[in-house]
Amino acid sequence: MDKKIILYVLIGIAILGILVMTFFPNWIYAVRDSGSSGEDKCSPPAGQTEEAWREHMSHHPDIYKECLE
C-alpha cells in the first residue's frame, strides 16, 4: 500500500512539472538569470528572438530592471 502512494506522488510531481513547463516555458531563464549581472541576462538566449526576449523580461521587472530601462 505504501509503495502505491509513493508511486502516485512521484507521478503527480512529474505531471505537475510537465504542466509547469508547458504553460511557463521561459521560467528557467528567469530563475537562471536572477543571480546574473548585466549583459549576460539582457541578451536573448539561443533560439529566442529579441522581441520575444523583451516580452519575457517585461514579465519579470524585478529581475530585468536594468535591461528594460
Give me the residue spans of the domains in the chain: 25-69
* Per-residue model confidence (pLDDT) at position 59: 87
> Is residue 63's pLDDT more than 90?
no
* Per-residue model confidence (pLDDT) at position 23: 87
Residue with cell 528572438: 49
Cβ contact 68:58 at 8 Å: yes
Give residues with Cβ within 8 angstroms of 40, minimum separation 6.
33
User: Which pLDDT tens digit goes with each residue over 10-53?
Assistant: 999 999 999 988 888 777 777 776 665 556 778 888 888 989 88
